[in-house]
Amino acid sequence: MRSAKKLTTSFISLLLMVSLTGCQNEPTSQPVSSTGYTPGTYEGVGAGMNGEVHVAVTFDKDSITAIEIKDNAETISISKPALTRLPQDIVQNQSLNVDLASGATISSNAVITAVGEAVKQAGGDAEALKSKAKPNLEVQPDEQTETDIVVVGSGLAGVSAALEAANQGKSVLLVEKMEAYGGSSAQSGGAVCYTLEDSDFTEQDYAEWLIQMGHDGENINEELVRKIASMTGDSLEFLRDQAGVDISFPVRETLAHNTVSYLVSTKKSVVLGAGGLIIEPFIEKLTAMNNVTLLNRTKAESLIVNDTGAVCGIQAVRADGSSLTVKADSVILATGGWDRNSELTEKLAPGFVNSVHLTGTGNTGDGILMAEAIGAAINEQLPACVDGFMGLPVTLTSDFILVNQQGERFVNESAVNIEVFNAIARQESGIHYYIYDANELFEFVNTTDRAALEAAAEAGTVLSADTIEELAEQIKVDPSTLRATVDRYNSFAGTQDSDFGKDMTNVQPFENGPFYAMSGVPYIMTAYGGPVVDEECHVLNQEGHIISGLYAAGELAASNWTGQDSIGHGMSLQDALSTGRIAALSASRK
């Protein structure tokens, strides 16, 4: 761990860039459709998570012989199973009724839709291929294996724990129940915050700020918070030097809090799922290590406990139904949250049952249930919510006007998520709108984002008008009120916002149409609540004692260091990165 050094007054959100290339799969074809095809290569298109997925499908007169994934903007670690296995399965089985890639359902459906479109062009019957009996999975024999450390979950906490433990010379088995690696981390915006040197804002100041921001949490472990704060720079080096993640550093300063500001990247938006660009280098690195084994489509169902009460492994089940028993010296749970489990949500946060989710589809509370079953103490806590808009990129810019149903501003748009979301929650029905002018909007969208914007405009998710008054009519607010709101906001440009304290030094007035309005939607971004841990990430029992051999990290354990609201802008990924490493180092010393 680093010694205390001076830090900047802020965080930096790191945008981690990797390119996604198409891949070609040409498995052996099987006997086919009685309808036959017109031989040739045809292109189809399906709607993916981040835009269109294009495929080129080659046919002979009787069969589909090859499928090539072409242009797409899917996030590699999420979509990889859909873009690789599905084409193989379709060709092998001459069927569109194949298993979707768990964790990559949208990408999977995009591939099937695109191939189906090509089938129609070739004169085939796509509906017949969709209705074919699904092929049975080949069932493996039940298996038992041993390892030093087993990690459950492949989000940033899980892969960080696996890599750190492997670097300590331990044999590591990582199990992931979904087919796609990455969990919620892969679906995140891909920003990781950290603290800089050469500032009067020390690591202790940073820790105290985090404790202050988590004031509504009943079980904040202040020692663990301080440990996480002290590791931010070291974990950044781990991310770059050990995992091989490509990091970019462009920053700009924005006011984020009354006393603490932070830096965010000048790339003002990231496509939802850019966090997968962090996960992919980890998976590649772990796959290449001799002392690490990765198993996806393998769900941990229970913890194995010996006669002394120590955890000594897991009982898991594979996608084909066969069992896997893993004996291990230590188990690190990094299974994420629980908001995708309707029963747990009904129990822990009944008001959120019908909420929109930004979390991974595997966030079904497996870790909390396994730990609770062997007597672990559990922190129960509400989900953390973040505001966003459907069908568009996640934005890291604050150069917009946020208004309520009355057409009035109600918050500093550049404040941290806690402040913004709480302000939104105080508005009638939580309904609100992001207002942009053409200059600000098109400054932060890239080519992919523009396509999403245009699609959203066609769908009515985004509204536009040449004047503020016309826009007001579209969002059903009083035109004179919205006009007055925009005029007052413009009067602060280049100075200071005397209404809500937003730093307007570098903000331009809203003068150039067309103007755009996006309806805001509250999302569940994380679901805190899980096992109680100490500062070394040991899981504790209901008497406050360590459960030997059991550790928890990431979102699963986040209620130990944060309140129910998300600080946002890279905090969750930084916490996952650091606590995964803390758990691995603790387990390696066992």
Tens digits of per-residue pLDDT, 569-579? 567 888 899 99
pLDDT greater than 80 at residue 321: yes
pLDDT band at 19 (very low <50, low <70, confident <90, very high): very low
Point out the least confidently predicted range of 81-95, 238-252, 268-282, 519-533.
268-282
In terms of DSSP bridges, do strands 311-318 and 298-305 run parallel, antiparallel, or are they unpaired? antiparallel
What pLDDT, on a 0 to 100 scale, did the predictor assign at position 195?
63
Stretch 149-153: mean pLDDT, rounded?
A: 99
Point out the least confidently predicted range of 101-110, 315-324, 479-488.
101-110
Q: At what angle do helices 222-230 and 203-213 cross, to 10 degrees?
A: 130
Residue identified by tokens 């937003």 is 502
> Same domain for 184 and 311?
yes
Q: At what angle do helices 571-588 and 156-167 cross, to 10 degrees?
A: 30
> Same domain for 471 and 564?
no
* Helix segments in 445-505, DSSP class H: 447-459, 468-474, 479-492
CA-to-CA distance for 136 and 122, rounded, in angstroms? 28
What pLDDT, on a 0 to 100 scale, did the predictor assign at position 199?
58
pLDDT greater than 60 at residue 91: yes
Stretch 202-219: mean pLDDT, rounded?
A: 70
Compute φ and ψ for 273, nearest 5 degrees.
105, 0
CA-to-CA distance for 199 and 82, rounded, in angstroms? 46
In a domain, 26, yes or no: no
Q: What SS3 state is found at 382?
A: strand
> Same domain for 311 and 454?
no
Stretch 457-476: mean pLDDT, rounded?
A: 86
In the sheet that 40-47 helps form, which strands lie side by side, from edge to edge?
Answer: 24-25, 64-69, 52-59, 40-47
> Same domain for 394 and 378?
no
What pLDDT, on a 0 to 100 scale, did the predictor assign at position 520?
72
pLDDT greater than 90 at residue 45: yes
> Same domain for 159 and 242?
yes
What pLDDT, on a 0 to 100 scale, did the predictor assign at position 233?
78
In a domain, 13, yes or no: no
In a domain, 201, yes or no: yes
CATH number at residue 423: 3.90.700.10
pLDDT greater than 90 at residue 424: no
Whether 182 and 79 have beta carbons less than 8 Å apart is answered as: no
CATH number at residue 190: 3.50.50.60
> Same domain for 272 and 318?
yes
What pLDDT, on a 0 to 100 scale, did the predictor assign at position 419?
74
pLDDT tens digit sequence for 95-147: 999 999 988 888 999 999 999 999 999 999 999 999 999 888 788 999 999 99
What pLDDT, on a 0 to 100 scale, did the predictor assign at position 27?
36
In a domain, 136, yes or no: no
Please count the structural domains in the chain: 3
CATH number at residue 52: 3.90.1010.20
Within 8 A by CB and 6+ apart from 373, the residues are: 302, 303
> Same domain for 108 and 160?
no
pLDDT greater than 60 at residue 297: yes
Q: At what angle do helices 156-167 and 276-287 cross, to 10 degrees?
A: 30
> Same domain for 318 and 195?
yes
What pLDDT, on a 0 to 100 scale, did the predictor assign at position 63?
95
* ∠ CA 252-255-261, rounded to 5°: 80
CA-to-CA distance for 366 and 372, rounded, in angstroms? 10
Point out the least confidently predicted range of 130-139, 216-225, 275-284.
216-225
**Average pLDDT along the chain:** 80
In a domain, 460, yes or no: yes
> Same domain for 296 and 192?
yes
What pLDDT, on a 0 to 100 scale, did the predictor assign at position 590?
83
Whether 340 and 362 have beta carbons less than 8 Å apart is answered as: yes
From 459, 493, 519, the end of a domain falls on 519
> Same domain for 125 and 192?
no
From 490, 519, 548, the end of a domain falls on 519
- What six digits make up the tokens of 380? 């129960």
> Same domain for 163 and 217?
yes
pLDDT band at 236 (very low <50, low <70, confident <90, very high): confident
Check the CA dihedral 163-168-170-171 and report its sign: positive
> Same domain for 224 and 323?
yes
What pLDDT, on a 0 to 100 scale, did the predictor assign at position 381?
62
CA-to-CA distance for 536 and 222, rounded, in angstroms? 12
Q: What is the DSSP letter of 310?
A: -
What pLDDT, on a 0 to 100 scale, did the predictor assign at position 152?
99
What pLDDT, on a 0 to 100 scale, did the predictor assign at position 216?
52
For 214, the domain range is 143-251+266-382+530-588
Within 8 A by CB and 6+ apart from 204, the residues are: 4, 226, 229
Stretch 54-58: mean pLDDT, rounded?
A: 97
More confident residue, 3 or 130: 130
What pLDDT, on a 0 to 100 scale, did the predictor assign at position 455?
61
From 466, 490, 519, the end of a domain falls on 519
